[in-house]
Amino acid sequence: MNDKTLAGIHWGFWVTGAVALIWNVMGIINFFAQVNADLLATMPESYRAIIESRPVWATAAFGVAVFGGALGALLLLLKKSAAFYLFIASLLGAIVQMPLYLGEVRSTFGVGVFLVSATFLIWYSKRAERKGWIS
């Protein structure tokens, strides 16, 4: 049984790209929920207080992280090597907001998962380029 697609690209490439896109689109949905005043008003007071007290630079870094990751995943699926640079921007966005969440176990874990995911996607996009899957 052959585990490759027509163009010699392993099926895992498509799965990785699709999961990365879904993950980052969920982040974009979360971003818009947090910056939308009407949606924010429907959230519990404790959650709303955390979001409203967050500095603008952290919200901007969150946006860079999720939009960079989503665009990177889309470019990966379109087999474009520029995905690598967007994944780097995504990682930088996650790193910039990390100090804000240190000490909060749940938040630190979430940002940590994002850091690992973004680092993996940087490595994976370079690997895909070396294998000739993207150009």
Using one digit for the tens of pLDDT, what is the confidence trace for 31-84? 999 999 999 899 899 888 888 888 999 999 999 999 999 999 999 999 999 999
Give the residue carrying structure tokens 């404790």: 46
Q: Which domain holds residue 64?
A: 26-130
Residue 83 lies in a domain: yes
Report the domain count for the chain: 1
Using one digit for the tens of pLDDT, what is the confidence trace for 106-124? 666 666 788 899 999 999 9
Distance CA 24, CA 10 (A): 22
Identify whether the C-beta of residue 47 lies closer than 8 Å to the C-beta of residue 96. Answer: no
pTM (2 d.p.) = 0.86
Residue 10 lies in a domain: no
Distance CA 59, CA 93 (A): 10
Residue 135 lies in a domain: no
pLDDT band at 105 (very low <50, low <70, confident <90, very high): low
In eight-state DSSP terms, residue 51 is H
Residue type, 117: S
Give the residue carrying structure tokens 């967007």: 86
Distance CA 28, CA 35 (A): 11
pLDDT band at 86 (very low <50, low <70, confident <90, very high): very high
